[in-house]
Structure 1
Amino acid sequence: MNERELRTLIADVKAGRMSRRSFVQRMIAFGLTAPLAGAMLSHAGVAKADTAIPYKPPKAGGGGVLKLLFWQAPTLLNPHFATGTKDQEASRLFYEPLAGWDRDGNLVPILAEDIPSKDNDGLKEDGLSMVWKLKKGVKWHDGVPFTADDVIFNWQYSTNPDTAAVSIGSYKDIKEIEKIDDHTVRMTFKQPTPFWANAFVASYGLIIPKHLFADYIGGKSREAPGNLKPVGTGPYLFVDFKPGDSVAAKRNPDYHQEGRPYFDTVELKGGGDAVSAARAVLQTGEYDYAYNIQVEDEILQKLEAGGQGKASLSVCGNIEFIMLNVTDPAVEVDGERASVKTKHPLFSDPAVREAINLLIDRASVQKFIYGRAGTATANFLNNPERFRSKNNTFELNIEKANQILEAAGWKKGSDGIRAKDGKQLKFVFQTSINSPRQKNQAIIKQTCQKAGIDIELKSVVASVFFSSDTANPDTYSHFYCDAQMYQTTMPQADPQFFMNQFASWEIASKANKWQGRNIARWQNKDYDDVYHQAEKELDPVKRAAMFIKLNDLVVADRYILPEINRKLSIGLKNGVIVHESGWDNDLWQIANWYRET
């Protein structure tokens, strides 16, 4: 199918000459996935006719306690500061966005009355403005009405540089938000904006109350009591929070969705490890849900044999990858380690980066560690499918790696370690404590040894590694190490936000309290230029090509080494009904969770 035929089909759906379902089936026949087809229509401004979430309980309450197990414990409850997914998830108990993404890549209204489209005059042809209509009758947990003022405040709060919000990337391109009335806002963008469903949507769109945070905007943002004691619009009310340990919540009797939520209380427990979390759901049934069960597939299957639950897998864009430090973490400049004013003494040589890429046994990592839960890949951007590059491949080639290093002047010494200009080819490689990651590290260390590279392995407790603590040097966002490995999530069925983590203006630094998304400190002018073009390109086909180019630029430079396109993997006790989405938080529809009896 060529570009012209695709545009004709989309036009037919807009005009009512073809149903949405027929379009999706037609795309599947051409090898596309249903989520991709749905996302294409959403980006073209075609609203989904029915986004109702299935729910059987006849009334709210009566479900008892819902027990959630997060082996990566949350450390704060302000979504604008949530550097880790576990903090986003915990915040989702209390806070909500205007809309979220379902598993098919369609937008579902939450605090919005409906999804903006050209049909309801919510979207304009020029891509410069849009209108959100807010759901009426919504109240904050303290009884104060939710209004347009709250929406405008969240934009002001996140874009204030002194607030140092991780969400700034989703809001910075909004020129103005105009209050039309208490339940309607018009957003005007600085330039044509194809991905309008960024601000106020999904993970980075959770809205906090103006009346409780207005005095804590900017430099006082970390002092707000609400950072640890949330007052939201969500289905559950705050009861207690022990950072790094547990969260307790109870049913919101005045929730804006009739007959919801089903569970009376929620207990979110943190700590432990992925295997024990999976066991507590799949084998013993002690918990109802386990977050991110990053466990070897062989172990998962044995645990499932216990008969208490199953591992549930969803396609998404999450990527397990290795990051080589662009900067020198051992040098301090102006009171800052890993400063962009430095260069890494080893990785600044492209031959070293190329060799390391050839020494990653991705196929074995998939086969022996992730199994059904992941696919080996050479791409950082893998889904939706139309954004996936076909230009990159991977291989394990120890002989070729040795040849590259030898030709670049890295000679083996008597100890077998290569050296050049008095610098030995040895470095520290860190990740979080998690069995698959430690096994992954061991595989890489072994192959690198065969090429004369010596690696010191470092493992950090997950609650520390992924912490938002700006004073802790062992967090992944500080990156005071030579190389590190972790998973980054893709929280939207569109790559714009996902790919801004390599934009030069997103570099994590002391100035922004290490809240910038560009943790690698990687910079490339071509990347910045293409990214800016993609931000305003309204043609979906041309825009997809731009994101493919962005992926290729990152991959080609070898500072970022993709490994596994991981599926969203959670543990569910038998009978617990949830509504998963690979494009949003696990808890995005927790108001509609229930237990079949």
Structure 2
Amino acid sequence: MKLKPALLGAAASLAFVPMAMADGHSGERGRDGAVSIIYWQAPSIMNPFLSGGTKDVEAGSMVVEPLARYSETGELVPWLVDEIPTTDNGGVSEDLTTITWKIKPGIVWSDGTPFTSADVKFTADYCMNPEGGCAQITKFEGVTNVEAIDDLTVKVTFDKPTPFPYGPFVGGESPILQAAQFADCTGAAASSCSEQNFNPIGTGPFKVVEFKPNDVITMEANENYREEGKPAFATVTFKGGGDATAAGRAVMETGEFDYAWNLQLAPDVIANMEKGGKGKPVAGFGPLVERLMLNQTNPSPDLGPEERSVIRPHPFLGDPAVYKAMSMAIDRPLLVEIGYGKAGKVTCNWVPAPDAFNSTSMTCDKQDIAGANKLLEDAGWVDSNGDGSRDKDGVELSLLYQSSTNAVRQDFQALIKQWWSEIGITAELRNVDSSVFFGGDAASPDTFQKFYADVEMYANTFNGTDPQSYLANGLCDKAPSPATQWQGENITRFCNEEYDALHKKLSNTAGLEARAEIGKQLNDLIVQEGAIIPLVHRGRLSAHANSLGGVKLNVWDSELWNVADWYRVK
């Protein structure tokens, strides 16, 4: 069996306007002066291993890099190596238990020291340390050993044949950390190393000058970057905070910033901003899904802080009648219309892309209030005291529904609360500043990882076109807890033996068709068992100034994946 990295699904591009095609790569490094970026969800850390927040991963991607990553078309491309290992070129063993990476000679860190296989091995040990908490641990699923064969060769060994071995060190979520800088930051000490986590030494086109958490990052060109003449910009101002509306206006109307990320705004708002003439929106469909996460554990404030969202079961969200009724009551086409327009699609799936992995076994495009009421009634949930909430055995269908602060999300919350009230479920709404909600602060009670609520709503995505690592976020042992410093991406604390067994089968299976079939089964299982209620398959929508060239929106990796290629259009 020969394994070759292949595009597992085409990136459905939704570009509102053509990109500038002028060549901006001639000349000296830093020739174009300053560039300004605004992420209304402010980065709180520059170390992707200590945060599952997209804004942190993407900010970090300008500095720390993986061995390989995904292009804007979803193609796996070499980054710090000369080629992608396969069975054909001998980089992947015939028995599919090892993958060997050959580092490109001559790469140095921003401090001028050599980048070697020792740094790669250290990064694996750092994330896999059982005494720490690593937000990207699913990338190392099945890894038993990472060995530095020589300075430029690193070998990864898996515990079984692994047809898709491109988890570790691939994509913006799995970059390489400098061993020398992070040597004293392993295990339980990882989160306490503020200097290292805020100012990582990297191989990327920029390096941090000053990091102000949840505010602004100042960067400058890495004088030791491996490509001559890149980056074109000498400095970067990376502003965080505010809201999506202000970010969009700052690029398309006022021209204050060059790039605005994740413009989660209504379609008419985007169209009006574009009339400002300073910038243009760009969008593309990847696997990004706005969804409701249903807590499988008990988040009651009556429990201690170390017990909330750890003790099972949830008082009522484990009842199929309840979570099915909650889904049936939602008018998804209306959510798409008011929230995203052509940049949104109704979805019943956690993984709607690539197309090969998009399950067609469920329908959810029609609201059914009457059916939801009957389902609850038949299950014994009645409003016995006339307070508007159904109850059963002394348990009220009353829940806390939280999300990050954003105009579209608050519109969604208000609508869904109303629909749930029509079926006898009372919801208290809460919104949290996005920089905090998606941050990785283990001391904060307000992060999406801690999930001190019954339901929370957000969206995230995964790097690449194969969702194996992403689907691992449903495994029992990937739940955030005090033992993992609240890191981990199994946010709902879903735990199902059948799911774990299916995922193990996926990790052993070769061939797109067979892998896609298992992937769809995993998707269906976690949705049908009530851990996730998908709402909208979202396009990733950002904007850049008319004067900013080289931008290639990437829905399969960090949006800032090719920031080294950006330049000022003259």
Identity score, percent: 39
Distance 1:233 1:573 in 2: 27
What is the match of residue 128 of structure 2?
159
Deviation at 1:424, TM superposition (A): 2.3
Instruction: Confirm or deny that 1:126 pairs with 2:95.
Output: yes
Superposed CA offset, 1:130-188 (max 9, x none): 22110111111111100111111111111101221112221242222232321112222
Q: What SS does the aligned partner of 1:83 have?
A: coil
Instruction: Confirm or deny that 1:596 pairs with 2:569.
Output: yes
Distance 2:457 2:11 in 1: 28
In the TM superposition, 1:272-421 aligns within 5 A as 272-330=242-300, 336-394=306-364, 395-412=366-383, 413-421=385-393
Q: What SS does the aligned partner of 1:178 have?
A: strand
What is the match of residue 16 of structure 2?
none
Instruction: Confirm or deny that 1:200 pairs with 2:169.
Output: yes
Contact 1:55–1:592 (CA<8 Å) still a contact in 2? no
Q: Structure 2, unaligned stretches of length 5 or more? A: 13-20
Superposed CA offset, 1:376-435 (max 9, x none): 101111111101111011031000011111111111343333222222221111001100
Which structure has the highest helix share of the two?
1
What is the match of residue 534 of structure 1?
506
Instruction: Confirm or deny that 1:140 pairs with 2:109.
Output: yes
Distance 1:572 1:532 in 2: 42
Deviation at 1:453, TM superposition (A): 1.6
Deviation at 1:331, TM superposition (A): 5.8
Deviation at 1:35, TM superposition (A): 4.2
Distance 1:325 1:430 in 2: 11
Distance 2:304 2:155 in 1: 43
Deviation at 1:55, TM superposition (A): 5.5
In the TM superposition, 1:49-88 aligns within 5 A as 56-59=24-27, 60-88=29-57
Contact 1:229–1:238 (CA<8 Å) still a contact in 2? yes
Match of 1:150 among 88, 110, 119: 119
Contact 2:110–2:223 (CA<8 Å) still a contact in 1? no
Which letter maps to 1:193? Answer: T
Distance 1:355 1:93 in 2: 44
Q: What SS does the aligned partner of 1:547 have?
A: helix
In the TM superposition, 1:196-595 aligns within 5 A as 196-224=165-193, 225-330=195-300, 336-394=306-364, 395-412=366-383, 413-577=385-549, 578-595=551-568
Deviation at 1:538, TM superposition (A): 1.9
Which letter maps to 1:595? Answer: R
Contact 2:67–2:170 (CA<8 Å) still a contact in 1? yes
TM-score, normalised to structure 2's length? 0.94
Distance 1:55 1:414 in 2: 69
User: What is the total number of aligned residue pairs between the two structures?
Assistant: 557
Distance 2:411 2:309 in 1: 31
Superposed CA offset, 1:38-78 (max 9, x none): xxxxxxxxxxxxxxx99532122211111000101111111
Q: Which has the higher contact order (CA 8 A, sep 6+)?
A: 2
Which letter maps to 2:554? Answer: S
Q: Structure 1, unaligned stretches of length 5 or more? A: 1-6, 15-19, 25-31, 37-52
Distance 1:264 1:579 in 2: 20
Contact 2:117–2:151 (CA<8 Å) still a contact in 1? yes
Deviation at 1:450, TM superposition (A): 1.4
Q: What SS does the aligned partner of 1:393 have?
A: coil
RMSD of aligned Cα (Å): 2.1
Distance 2:151 2:23 in 1: 30
TM-score, normalised to structure 1's length? 0.90
Deviation at 1:335, TM superposition (A): 5.4
What is the match of residue 191 of structure 1?
160
Match of 1:113 among 79, 82, 86: 82
Distance 1:301 1:351 in 2: 41
Distance 1:34 1:79 in 2: 26
Larger deviation, residues 475-484 vs 573-582: 573-582
Q: 1:189 to 1:81 in 2, by over 3 A?
A: same
Deviation at 1:473, TM superposition (A): 0.8
Q: 1:130 to 1:416 in 2, by over 3 A?
A: closer
Superposed CA offset, 1:502-549 (max 9, x none): 110101111111101111011111000000110111233211111110
Q: What SS does the aligned partner of 2:69 have?
A: strand
Larger deviation, residues 333-342 vs 220-229: 333-342
Deviating runs (4+, > 4 A) in structure 1?
331-335
Q: 1:569 to 1:335 in 2, by over 3 A?
A: closer
Contact 2:348–2:362 (CA<8 Å) still a contact in 1? yes
Q: What SS does the aligned partner of 1:318 have?
A: strand
Which letter maps to 1:58? Answer: S
Q: What SS does the aligned partner of 1:186 have?
A: strand
Which letter maps to 1:210? Answer: A
What is the match of residue 3 of structure 1?
none
Match of 1:173 among 126, 142, 150: 142
Contact 1:337–1:480 (CA<8 Å) still a contact in 2? no
Larger deviation, residues 433-442 vs 257-266: 257-266
Distance 2:23 2:477 in 1: 43
Q: What SS does the aligned partner of 2:190 have?
A: helix
Distance 2:232 2:482 in 1: 44
Deviation at 1:280, TM superposition (A): 0.7
